[in-house]
Amino acid sequence: MSRPRVVIVGAGFAGLAAAKALAGKPWYRARVDVTVVDCRNHHVFTPFLYQVATALLEPSGTAQPVRALLRKLPNIDVRLAQVTGLNLTLRRVETDRGPVAYDYLILAAGAVNDYFANPRIAGRSLALNDLDEALTLRNHILGCFEAARWAAGDPARRARLLTFAVVGGGPTGVEFSAALAVLVKELTGRGFPGIGAAEPRIVLVEASAAPLGSFAADLREAAAAGLRARGVEIRSGAEVTDVDEDGLTMAGGDRIDAVTVVWAAGVRANALAAALPVTGSHGRVVVDPTLQIPRHPEIFVVGDMAQIPGRAGPLPMVAQVAIQSGRRAARSVLALCAGGKARRFRYRDLGTMATVGRGDAVAQIGQLHLSGLTGWLAWLGVHIARTAGPEAKASVILGSVRGFIFGVRPVQIITGPGQRASVRPELAGTATGPARDPRSPARAGLPSVNVGNANDFGRIAALSWWTQDLPGRRPAPGPSPGSLKRLSTRMTRLRHAAFGIKSQAKDNYSP
C-alpha cells in the first residue's frame, strides 16, 4: 500500500517548517511522501533582504538552496515549477511542468507586494520582497551615485538622483531607511569624494501617524529618534497617490522629486489564493482554527496566504506566524494519516523587533521593551537563530561583526547583464578594452575600466593604485580600505572552505 502523498506549495518560512515536520527521521520509516514545489530553487530569509539591498550582506547570507536545506530528509522531493492553478476535484496542483497529484495539500506560497491595484506604482517603484528585487535595488542605488557624479552641471537632476523616497513605515521600511542612511554616509565619505555629505536625502513616507505603528509608544519614539539622528526625514500622515519617473505625489498634491522610490507599504497573499473559495483581507484565504478550508479538509493554508483567526483579530503576516502555522499543519496531516483529527492552531507571540541602524534596534517582547544596543543584540540573536543553514548563520555573524566593528559595506558591486557595456569610455581615459591582470607580464598602459577616478586624480595616481597588489609591494602601515577589503576577502574564503561550499555571489570576493 502506497503512503499518502503530501504536496507543499512554497519553500518559504511556512513551507520549510511544514516539510521538516513531515520528514521521517533516519531511524524510522516515514509515514508520508512529500513533494515541495516552488518557482525558485532557493529559500530567502526575507528579514535580511534590506542588508543585501544596502550592500552589507552578500546574497548567500540570506538565500540558501532548498535542496541543500532538505537534503538530509529521506522522504522529500523538491520540484522546480511555477504553479498555475489548483484542481480541487481531482486533487492536483497544476504547474507549467505538468500536474502534481496529492492526498493532502499545504499551501504556503507566501505574499507579494501590495500596490493597492495601482499599476503606475507597481511599474515605477522598486520593491524589497525577494532576492532579485534586493539585488536590483542595490544596483540602482549604486548606479544613482555613479550617475550623480556625472550630473554636476545639472543640479536639478543631481538632486533627484540623490533623493531616495521609501514608502511604508513598517519594519521593512524603517530597517531599509536606516541601513540606507549608513550606506549613503559611507559612499559620500569615501567612495564619492565629489558628492557632499549634505547632498543625499532620504525620506520615509508613512500614511499613519508614525512609523512602526504596531509598537508601543516609547519604542516608536525611540525608532523615530534613531532615524532622524541618521539623517532620515519622516513624513507621517502622508498617503502616496501616484509614482512617476520623477518622484511621487501625495494626497493634497505634495511631491517628492526622486529617481528612487522604494515601495514597502505592505504585502498581499499570492495570487494563487484566488483559486480557493473564501478570500479575506489582503487577498488571504480565510481558514478554520485548524488551518483547513471549508469543504476541503485535505487542504491546509498557512503563512501569509492564510487569514488565521487570533484573539484580537486575524494574525499578522510575519515570519513567526508562518513558521508556527506550517509546523502545525504538518502535524495535523500526520494525525489525519494515522486516523486522528487536525488540532486547533494556537499562536505563540514571540515579540516584534526592528533595527534602526548599526547597534540600534527596538524590540517588544510581551511587556518587555528594549531599545538601543540591548535591542539590537536581541534582534541579532533572534534573527541568527531563525536563519536557515549553518553557512548562512556564519555569513550573518561575520557580516554583522564586520559591519559593527569596521563599519564597511563589503559588496558595493553593480552586477547584472550589460553592466560592463554601460561603463562610459571617459571613465577609463583611452583604455576601453578588457581589464588586464596586474600580475601578468603585459601590464603596461593606462588603468582598466575599473579605475573610475583616473580623470579626477590623474594617470600617475591611477597607475599607482593599479600596481598596489603587485608582488613585492608593501601596503601602507595601519588599517586602510584596501587592507580591510583583503581581510574581508580572506574571512569569506575561510568560511567557504570551512563549510565546503561555493559562494552564490562569487564576484563579491573575487580579487
Q: Give a yes or no: residue 260 inside a domain.
A: yes
| pLDDT, tens digit (0-9, with 9 covering 90-100), for 290-301 | 999 989 999 999
| pLDDT, tens digit (0-9, with 9 covering 90-100), for 338-352 | 899 999 999 998 888
- Cell numbers 492553478 correspond to what residue? 85
Q: Are residues 432 and 500 in the same domain?
A: yes
> Which candidate, 429, 511, 502, 414, places its Cα nearest to that of 470?
511
Q: Compute CA distances 444 → 267, 440, 457, whole Å.
A: 54, 10, 19
Q: Give a yes or no: residue 31 inside a domain.
A: yes
Taking the C-alpha atoms of residue 318 and residue 352, their distance in angstroms, rounded to an integer, is: 9
Domain end position, chosen among 276, 302, 337: 337
Instruction: Give the three-state DSSP class for 269.
Output: strand
Q: Give a yes or no: residue 69 inside a domain.
A: no
| pLDDT, tens digit (0-9, with 9 covering 90-100), for 435-475 | 434 333 333 333 333 434 444 444 444 444 444 444 444 44
Mean pLDDT of 302-306: 96
Q: Can you give the residue range of the structural domain that contains 13?
A: 5-39+81-113+268-337
Q: What is the CATH number of the domain that holds 304?
A: 3.50.50.60
Name the helix (H) or strand (E) containing 377: helix 372-386
> Which candidate, 304, 313, 267, places its Cα nearest to that of 284?
304
Q: Are residues 210 and 248 in the same domain?
A: yes
Q: Give a yes or no: residue 65 inside a domain.
A: no
- Cell numbers 512554497 correspond to what residue? 10
Q: Are residues 15 and 100 in the same domain?
A: yes
Supply the residues annotated as catalytic: 175
Spatial neighbors of 268 by CB under 8 A, at least 6 apart, are 111, 112, 113, 114, 282, 283, 284
Q: What is the CATH number of the domain that holds 205?
A: 3.50.50.100
Q: Are residues 313 and 457 in the same domain?
A: no
User: Angle, nearest 10°, between helix axes 319-337 and 13-22?
Assistant: 30
| pLDDT, tens digit (0-9, with 9 covering 90-100), for 108-133 | 999 999 998 889 999 999 999 999 99
| pLDDT, tens digit (0-9, with 9 covering 90-100), for 83-102 | 999 999 999 999 999 999 99
Quick check: 347 and 314 in contact, CB under 8 A? no
Least confident range of 23-27, 285-289, 313-317: 23-27
Q: Are residues 301 and 329 in the same domain?
A: yes
Q: Are residues 154 and 238 in the same domain?
A: yes
Q: Are residues 367 and 464 in the same domain?
A: no
Least confident range of 359-368, 398-407, 431-440: 431-440
Taking the C-alpha atoms of residue 424 and residue 147, their distance in angstroms, rounded to an integer, is: 11
DSSP state, 98? -
> Which candidate, 45, 7, 51, 13, places its Cα nearest to that of 305?
13
Backbone dihedral angles phi then psi of residue 91, each to the nearest 5 degrees: 55, 60
Burial of 304 (0-12, 13-18, 19+ CB in 10 A): buried
**Predicted confidence band of residue 357 (pLDDT cuts 50, 70, 90):** confident
Higher confidence at residue 278 or residue 349?
A: 349
User: Angle, nearest 10°, between helix axes 390-406 and 372-386?
Assistant: 160
Residue 45 has pLDDT above 80, yes or no: yes
Give how far the C-alpha of residue 446 lies from the chain's centroid of Cα atoms, to the nearest Å.
39
DSSP string, 74-91: TTEEEEE--EEEEETTTT
Domain end position, chosen among 311, 337, 363: 337
Q: Give a yes or no: residue 68 inside a domain.
A: no
pLDDT at residue 500, as a whole number: 56
Taking the C-alpha atoms of residue 52 and residue 134, their distance in angstroms, rounded to an integer, is: 6
Q: In DSSP terms, which residues pair with 104 in a beta bridge?
A: 6
Q: Compute CA distances 455 → 155, 327, 475, whole Å.
A: 21, 59, 24
Residue 426 has pLDDT above 60, yes or no: no
Q: Which cell is 494 given?
A: 575561510
Taking the C-alpha atoms of residue 69 and residue 66, their distance in angstroms, rounded to an integer, is: 5
- State the average pLDDT for the chain: 81
Number of Cβ within a 10 Å radius of residue 88:
15
Q: Are residues 131 and 276 in the same domain?
A: no
Q: Give a yes or no: residue 498 inside a domain.
A: yes
Q: Give a yes or no: residue 96 inside a domain.
A: yes
pLDDT at residue 75, as a whole number: 86
**Sign of the C-alpha dihedral, residues 383, 59, 174, 12?**
negative
Q: Give a yes or no: residue 490 inside a domain.
A: yes
Q: Are residues 333 and 357 in the same domain?
A: no
Q: Are residues 254 and 369 in the same domain?
A: yes
Domain count of the fold of the chain: 3
| Reported pTM | 0.77
Residues across the chain: 511
Q: Which cell is 130 given?
A: 525577494
User: Angle, nearest 10°, between helix axes 171-186 and 217-229?
Assistant: 20
Q: In DSSP terms, which residues pair with 430 in a beta bridge?
A: none
Strands 360-365 and 368-371: antiparallel
Backbone dihedral angles phi then psi of residue 223, each to the nearest 5 degrees: -65, -45
- CA dihedral defined by 239, 240, 241, 247, rounded to 10 degrees? 150
Taking the C-alpha atoms of residue 328 and residue 350, their distance in angstroms, rounded to an integer, is: 16
- CA dihedral defined by 70, 72, 76, 78, rounded to 10 degrees? 40
Domain end position, chosen among 310, 337, 364: 337
Q: Are residues 384 and 356 in the same domain?
A: yes
DSSP string, 288-310: -TTSEETTEEEEEE-GGGEE-EE
Q: Are residues 100 and 167 in the same domain?
A: no
